[in-house]
Amino acid sequence: MKRILIAGLLIIFISINALAYNRGAGVTVGSTLLRGQVGAAPAALGGAYTAFAEGPLSLRYNPAGLADETRKKLFLQYNAHILDIDRSDIALTVPLNYGAFGISFSLIDYGDITRTTTINKNGIGIFSPKDYFLKIGYGRQVSERMQFGGTIGVYTLELDQDARAEGITADFGLKYNSPIDNLILGAGIKNIGTKARFYFEREELPLLFVLGLAYKPIPQLLLLVDGELIDGEGSVIHAGAEYTVAKRLKFRVGYNGENETDNGLTAGAGFATDDLSLDYAYIPFGEFGNSHQISLEVKFGKPVERKAKVIERRVERIETLERKPEPLTDTEQVIQTPIETTTAPEEEKIDIQSMKDKSVQEFSSGRFESALRLFIELETLTPTDYDLKYNIATAYYSMKHYEEALNEYGKYLELVPSDDEAWLYKGYSEYHLNRINSAKHSWRRALEINPDNEYARAALSQTTNE
C-alpha cells in the first residue's frame, strides 16, 4: 500500500509537468531575483526543496520549514553566476517559544553593461543594474503533523539610477509529515504581491504554485520532487537525490526543468557537523558557461525549550506553561551510560546507533507512536541505557497517554532520582490525571534538585493559587 501511494504521488507531480508545458517566450520581471536558487544544497538538488525546506532556506523555498527551528542559524551564500552575474545572500533565523522568525537579504549584481543609443551604438558609458530583496518570515507547528508559514518581502529592481521598480511580495507554505514513514509533503504559493512598475508600465510578478515531496527509502538516501506551476508560463519539474556517507559527507544530483540553456542537470556536495554545514553546487548553462554556488550555514546559541499550549484542561483553571518534552540524544544525556563489559560487534553498534538516530528523528517529526516502538525495541537491546526509559516516558507524554507516562517516569526516577526534568514531567502527568497533591510534590522535588527550574516553580505557583 505504501509503494502504491508513493507511486501515485509521483505520477501526480509528473502530470503537472505534462498537462501544460507551454512556457512563455518572455521572462517576467524579477525572475532572477524571485526565482533564483538560494543555497548550494537546493541548487545541487535541482531546486526541489519544498517538502524538505528547513532553516534560513525556508524563507526561499517554504516558510513552513521555519517551524522546525530550535537554534539560531546564520546563512551566507555567494553565487558566481553566468554572464558576470553575481548573487549574494544572507539570512538569519531565530527560534521562539512558538515557531521561529527569519529575515533575509539578497543582492544580485549584473555587472557593468555598455550604454548605447540609436545614434551612438558604440556606447556612451556604462550602467550597472542591481536587484535587492529584503524578506521576513514566520513559521510554526499548527497540528501534530502540519506546519504553516509565511513571508513578506520588499524588492527593488534597479535598471539604472533613474529607472527603478519596487514592490511587495508574499509567500505562504505548508509542510505535512505523512503517516507513511519518512515521507513529507509540501505545498506553497509564491510571489503574491504588487506589480513592478518601470516608468508608466507595470509588469506582473512570476506568480507560482508548487507541490513537493521528500522521501527517504533508506536513512542514507533522500529523494525530492517538486512540481511548479508558473502563472502564464506553464509548469516545471524539479527533482533531486542526496546520498549521505558517514553521516557528514553528502553527494547530490538533480534536475532543474527551468534551465532551458542546457540539459537541466545539476550536481554538488556538502559537509556537515553539528554546528556547521558547507555546501557547493555546480550548474551548467551550456554555451553561457557554468554557475558555481557556495553556501555556509552556522548554528549558534542554546536550543530553545519550546512551551506547548495546554489543550486539555483537567482542572478548572490551568494556565501552566508546559515545556514540550524532547527525547534524550547521545549529546543530551543526564547521566553517563554505563560501559558494557563485553564489546558488541561493530555491525551491531552501527545498527543500534542508526535506530537511535531514527527514533529521535521520528519523535522530532511528530511521529510519536513510531518513535515509541523504536525506544522500546532499543531498551531490549541496551537495557543499561537508562535514558531510553526517559524517552519512552516522553513519547507517552507527547501522545497524551499520561497514565503510561507517569508509570515510565516513575521507573526512570528510581534509577536516576536527581533528574529535575523527569520530576517536572512526572508532575505534569499527575496534574493531567487530576492528582494535584502528587503533582505539587513532584514539582517541589524538581525545585529541591534545581532551584532554577522556572517551569516547576510556575506550575507549583499556579496550582497553589487555584
Mean pLDDT of 146-150: 95
- Rounded Cα distance between 445 and 440, Å, is 9
List where CATH 1.25.40.10 sits in the chain. Answer: 307-465
Least confident of 29-33, 207-211, 253-257: 29-33
Coil, helix or strand at residue 349: helix
Residue 38 has pLDDT above 50, yes or no: yes
What's the average model confidence in pLDDT over 268-285? 92
Instruction: Give the pLDDT of residue 323.
Output: 55
Q: What is the pLDDT of residues 226-255, one digit of tens each?
A: 999 988 778 899 999 999 998 899 999 999
pLDDT of residue 268: 97
Alpha carbon separation from 48 to 99, 223, 230 (Å, rounded): 24, 9, 15
| Per-residue cell: 128 | 550597472
313 vs 389, residue with greater confidence: 389
How is domain 2-300 classified at the architecture level of CATH? Answer: Beta Barrel (2.40)
Distances (CA, A) of 430 to 397, 411, 443, 446: 11, 15, 10, 14
Phi, psi of 392 (to 5 degrees): -65, -45
Listed residue (437, 30, 69) closest to 195, CA to CA? 30
Nearest to 91 by CA among 105, 79, 101, 108: 105
> Chain-wide mean pLDDT for the chain?
79
pLDDT value of residue 197: 67
Q: In the prediction, which pLDDT does 425 show?
A: 92
Contacting residues for 439 by C-beta, under 8 A, at least 6 apart: 427, 428, 430, 431, 459, 463
Count, residues in the chain: 466
Q: What are the tens digits of pLDDT across the range 404-451?
A: 999 999 988 988 888 889 999 999 998 888 888 888 889 988 988 888
Phi/psi for 143 (5° steps) reads -155, 180
In angstroms, the CA 413 to CA 438 distance is: 15
Residue 203's H or E segment, with its range, is strand 201-203
Q: What is the pLDDT of residue 200?
A: 55
- Report how far apart, in Å, the C-alpha atoms of 293 and of each of 37, 58, 79, 102, 276 are: 9, 18, 4, 22, 17
Give 34's pLDDT tier (boundaries 50, 70, 90).
Answer: low
Confidence of residue 156 (pLDDT cuts 50, 70, 90): confident
Per mean pLDDT, which of 9-23, 100-114, 211-225, 300-314 is the most reliable? 211-225
CA distances from 145 to 57, 68, 140, 178, 365 (A): 21, 12, 11, 7, 7
Q: Start-end ranges of CATH 2.40.160.60 in the chain?
A: 2-300
Which of 205, 179, 203, 182 lies closest to 192 in space, CA to CA? 205
Fold of 307-465: 1.25.40
Q: Is a pLDDT exceeding 50 seen at residue 108?
A: yes
Cβ atoms of residues 33 and 288 within 8 Å? no
**What DSSP assignment string belongs to 64-130?**
GGGGG--SEEEEEEEEE-STT-EEEEEEEEEE-SSSEEEEEEEEEE---EE---SS-TT-S-EE--E
Q: What is the pLDDT of residues 247-275, one digit of tens each?
A: 899 999 999 988 766 678 999 999 999 88
Grid cell, residue 453, equals 527550574
How far apart, in Å, are the Cα atoms of 255 and each of 259, 280, 455?
A: 9, 16, 49
24/264: higher pLDDT: 264
| pLDDT above 90 (res 91) | yes
